[in-house]
Amino acid sequence: MSKKTLFWLGAGIIVLLLLPVFLPRFYVYLVSIILLYGLLATSLNLVLGYGGIFQFHHAVFYGVGAYGTTLMLTKTGLPPMLAFIVGPLVSATFGLVLGIICIRLSKLYFGMLQISLGSLVWAIVYRWYSFTGGDDGIHGIPIPEMLSSPKGAYYFTLIITLVCLFIMWKIIQSPFGSALQGIRDNPVRSEMIGINVRMHQLLALALAGFFAGVAGSLFVVVDNTVFPDMLFWTFSLEILIMCLLGGWFTFLGPMLGAAVIVALRTFVSTYTDYWALVLGIIMMLVIFFLPNGILGYVEEKFKRGFIEPEIEEQ
Amino acid sequence: MLEVTSISKTFDGFKAVNNANLAVEKGEIVAVIGPNGAGKTTLFNLITGILKPDSGRVLFKNEDITGLPPHEVCRKRISRSFQIVNVFQRLTVFENVQISVLSREKKTWNLFTPSASLAIKETDEILESVGLLKKKNRTTALLSHGDRKVLEIAMALGGNPEFLILDEPTAGMAAEETSRCIDLIKKLSQTMGLTILFCEHDMEIVFGIANRIMVMVRGGTVIQGSCEEVRCNEAVQDAYLGASDVCLM
């Protein structure tokens, strides 16, 4: 990483740390939501943009993580911090199990099967009143005192998100990350150079499930509620759009996409109920003019200026 | 070294490979020739595990490797390049070969060491040997077709193979690129001692570098023998050229 990137990264983190001092409570809450949605979208992008797997129902793992954490907090007397570890682990397991079932199908069929199995999980959560609270969800979840204030929740979200992003960044830079990108570009070729494609994909799915689960537990901290819509398929679509909009071949693209969508939903919906219409138009423009997403476009422009003219020698 | 006995593969009733036989000794360069659709690529897919044969056996160094998945076949030190360029499009030339080296070193389960610090020397050596070192930081999408075919071979070399399978290595290359590619194949055989199995349409190349030739027609083996034997074999001329009064070359 160059010094310049480090400088901007440091500056960004300092601004984020200072935000609660200046911003009113509502905006602090909004930034927390952006951060955790960004984490969620980045975890999807680990398998979508870097792994080439059409994970169409990512919200399931987010929801399962949130419910896992919540049920631990409300139904057991175990230390609360344990709940924040168990939630993500449960979603990692879900990611692995759904992955084992779906991975034998390729590309779109993987996505289709995942949507149906994921909807099954949603239906169970929606109906099982005695355990999950059914369509009411669970409200007023007891959160450790330290995290229950908006500021506490914000800092907790910020720190966990940054740590998770850092770990995912390391994973993408690692040999496993390289292999994953190879599999995305060409699974047959990857097999032929000795990579066990399915096993690598399964690990990626479990990892993506884990980080989605982390995002889910963060939502519990920020919002104190869980509800079945968190794992409804329309929300999966929203996460998918965050990735595409921000740039699914860039690392921070999904975070940017999350910011755009949350901002749109918050501010446009005060003027009209049809905020999704605005989103749809933006999405169409992006697909036509910025097929690699906003950040993908910026990166392209940026790189183009730096390509040195290479002289072909004979 | 490699022995394929009466191997067959049927797609929806079409016998793509039908009782084909092939034997390759250590250190040889063997060519597979045959008209389009004769089943050459299917044969290679059967050997490397991309397809599973309906019947027949593949022995490599006296070990039965029939039906093993490709990543395990690769571990036996059999590598291949593809006819249709099959590289990692979004990665650089260097990364393409590096993944192959990392995979051979079984490092792809490593989640935390940066790739950028691993297998640099090995990768550079391979790129040097095929003459792509100067272009190592280019995205493969920016390479010429000829360079991409060479990159194919470089990726296959990343697995440190003893046995190399090349599916039409020079297809679509310009004349100059072709001659460079042939020199490369000769070099791999002579200096690195690789055993090479390849298929090719250009008879000049086939007779120029192959020690022995296997002729495939409609999925079956017509003959496998030295260049002279194949050149004047009547069955080959009948099947391959459709006329018996012409001698190949």
Q: Is A298 helix (H, G, I), strand (E, B) or coil?
A: helix
Within 8 A of B71 by CB-CB distance, chain A residues are 191-192, 194-197
Q: Does domain A3-304 have CATH number 1.10.3470?
A: yes
In chain A, what are the domain boundaries? 3-304
| Cβ contact B99–A178 (<8 Å) | yes
Nearest-CA distance from A104 to chain B in Å? Answer: 14
pLDDT one-digit tens code per residue, B28-62: 999 998 888 888 999 999 999 999 999 999 999 98
The encoded tokens of residue B128 equal 């040097």
* Residue A119, CB-side half-sphere exposure with 13 Å CA sphere: 8
Of A89, A132, A90, A120, the residue nearest A228 (C-alpha): A132
Structure ipTM: 0.85
Q: Which two tokens stand for residue A13?
A: 């983190």
**Looking at residue A1, what is its pLDDT?**
61
- What 3-state DSSP class applies to B195? strand
Q: Helices A233-246 and A293-304 meet at what angle, rounded to 10?
A: 10
Q: What's the pLDDT at A76?
A: 86
pLDDT of the residue at B242: 59
Tell me how many degrees the CA angle B16-B21-B22 measures, rounded to the nearest 5: 115
> Which residues from chain B sit within 8 angstroms of residue A181, using beta carbons?
88, 90-91
pLDDT digits (tens, 9 = 90+) for A27-58: 999 999 999 999 999 999 999 999 999 999 99
Lowest-confidence region among A139-153, B47-61, B233-247 = B233-247
Q: Say if residue A303's pLDDT is above 80.
A: no
Check if A174 contacts B (Cβ < 8 Å). yes
Residue A279 is encoded by which pair of tokens? 């989103």
Query: Mean pLDDT throughout A73-80?
Result: 86
* Mean of the per-residue pLDDT values of chain B: 87
Interface test with A, best of B92, B99, B117, B177 (most A CBs within 10 A): B99
Closest chain B residue to the Cα of A195, Cα to Cα? B71
Q: How confident is the model at residue A92 (pLDDT cuts 50, 70, 90)?
A: very high
Task: Note if the pTM is more than 0.90.
Answer: no
What is the per-residue pLDDT for A305?
Answer: 45
Task: State pLDDT tens for residues B113-159.
Answer: 888 888 889 999 999 988 888 888 888 888 888 888 899 999 999 98
Residue numbers in A near B135 (CB within 8 A): 310
Q: Is B102's CB within 8 Å of A175's CB?
A: yes
pLDDT at residue A304 above 70?
no
pLDDT for position A307: 42
Domains defined along chain B, listed by start: 1-77+161-249 (3.40.50.300), 86-160 (no CATH)
Q: How far is A308 from chain B (nearest CA, A)?
A: 11
